[in-house]
Structure 1
Amino acid sequence: MTLSLKPATQPILERHSATWQDYVAIRDHPAVDWQKLSFYQGWLWVNMGKEGPEHASVSDFTTIVFGFWAFLHPDVPLQSCGRCLIERPETHACAPDLVLYKGDNIPKYQPGEPRRIDLRYQRAPDLVGEIADTTLSIDLDEQKQLYASLGIPEYWVIDVKGRRVFAFGLAEGGQYRAIAQSQVLSGLKIDLLEQALERLAEETNTAAANWLLQQLQSRA
């Protein structure tokens, strides 16, 4: 199978019988301005749409939350590198909106290396997430299967329109199960995160994150 390399006229390209070579052709094609890219078990998904203001606001809000959690836990190494391309060559590729590493052996880019995380040599993130503005069904299905198969301990799907957070922890057998509290960011309850998201309807994302910080400090 050969995929057409003219997908720039369409915001979304999805195939269920693609090859790794098809993925690489899209990834490296100079005329394809992709925003999100995923490959797993023949499923190739390319999003060439531009990021909307609500998606960007929620994404930045979540990154601020990561920073505030790090402020409250200064002895725990934490690094956010959302939207970075992650590959396990021949089988997996993804660029999650949220990518979080915790603890030791956080990947470091070396000059001359490809500008992506290669899971043959670097460990998988501790938490990934998707900001679901127009992609909720895919994020709760194909993307969820992809991240579980990589053994990523925690996965979030943030529903922008519904102001909901679907949080999953990796259980025995390699399947995700719903969790009420983050396992990676100890002390962060998912319903508290949702309350902060609801405030985005009336407040800035920095104000909502500040409110969440105050709640975490009062419960520490």
Structure 2
Amino acid sequence: MTTSQTKLPTDTWVVATWDEFIQTVEDPAYRKAKGYYYKGQMRIETMSVGPDHAKDNTIIAVAVPLFAAIKSIRLNGLENCSYRKTGIRECQPDISYYIGERAQLAPTGTAIANLDLIPPPDIAIEISDSTLADDKGEKRLLYEEVKVGEYWIADVQKPEIIAFEIIPTGGSRRISQSQILPGLEMALLEETLRRSRQMPHSQVVAWLLTQFQS
């Protein structure tokens, strides 16, 4: 029986083999879904994106490159890029960045980014509306094993940025300032999110420009 003929639980972790995960993410019924695989479980996220989620995604995707441009830091960003370690794990952060000398290592092409061939991104970001508990829990453990440099969660409800530095020897620790983009404070990004709910994005970006230049 094909996946599309089977009612599959979504937006939760489900025990599955790697082959079952691949069959699911390649099923046309889940073409627009996000796929994660970690320690013998898969998570297929099909929830619709509300305006606040979309706004937070947009303004963060503008703010981080703007900071890098002002500070003359090389950066390449990707939105909704899937990263795959074949047979082991897969993740699809809302936004991810390759920074500094590693900017040139960002994946290109139309295929899923193969972590057997390329390094993981420096920063992975999840925009979290109804998935906060999982983003802080299982996905944080997943990104620790992917070995990104930092993992940020944008809590749409508050709004708040919950940022972690991934420790190379294992685990992660909470940070209030990016260690990869020195000088970028999470508090400033939180204020950016708040302003984006009340002001046009063009005005928020103009305000950010003055903050980054000061």
With normalisation by structure 1, the TM-score equals: 0.88
Q: CA deviation at 1:71?
A: 1.7
Cα 1:24–1:172 change in 2 (3 A) is closer
Q: Counterparts of 1:39 and 1:9 in 2: how far apart (Å)?
A: 15
Shift of 1:177: 0.4
- For structure 1, which runs of at least 5 residues remain unmatched after alignment? none
What is the Cα deviation at residue 100 of structure 1?
Answer: 0.5
Taking the TM superposition and a 5 Å limit, the aligned residue runs for 1:179-190 are: 179-190=175-186
2:158 equivalent among 162, 165, 168: 162
TM-score (normalizing by structure 2): 0.90
Find the residue that maps to 2:182 and give its secondary structure. coil
* Residue 93 (structure 1) aligns with: 90
Aligned-pair CA distance for 1:197 = 1.4
Alpha-carbon distance change, 17 to 8 in structure 1, aligned in 2, over 3 angstroms: closer
Distance in structure 1 (CA, Å) of the matches to 2:81 and 2:190: 25
Secondary structure in 2 aligned to 1:5? helix
Structure 2: where are the runs of 5+ without partners?
A: none
| 1:8–1:31 Cα contact (<8 Å) kept | no
SS at match of 1:31: helix
Aligned to 2:192: 196
User: How far apart, in 1, do the equivalents of 2:188 and 2:13 lie?
Assistant: 37
Give the whole-Å Cα distance in 1 for the aligned partners of 2:71 and 2:198: 29
Q: Select 1:77's aligned residue among 74, 78, 100.
A: 74
- Please name the residue that 1:125 is paired with: 121
Q: Which amino acid aligns with 1:92?
A: R
Report the residue type matching 2:112 in the other structure. R
C-alpha distance in 1, partners of 2:53/2:132? Answer: 12
Q: How many residues align?
A: 212
Aligned residue number for residue 106 of structure 1: 105
CA shift, 1:207, in A, is: 2.4
Specify the alignment match of 1:175 in structure 2.
Answer: 171
Q: Percent identity?
A: 27
Matching of residue 47 in structure 1 with residue 45 in structure 2: yes
Letter of the 1:185 partner, please give it.
L
User: Closer, same or farther in 2 for the Cα pair 1:61/1:9, shift >3 Å?
Assistant: same
Q: State which drifts further: 172-181 or 120-129.
A: 172-181
CA RMSD, aligned part only?
A: 2.1
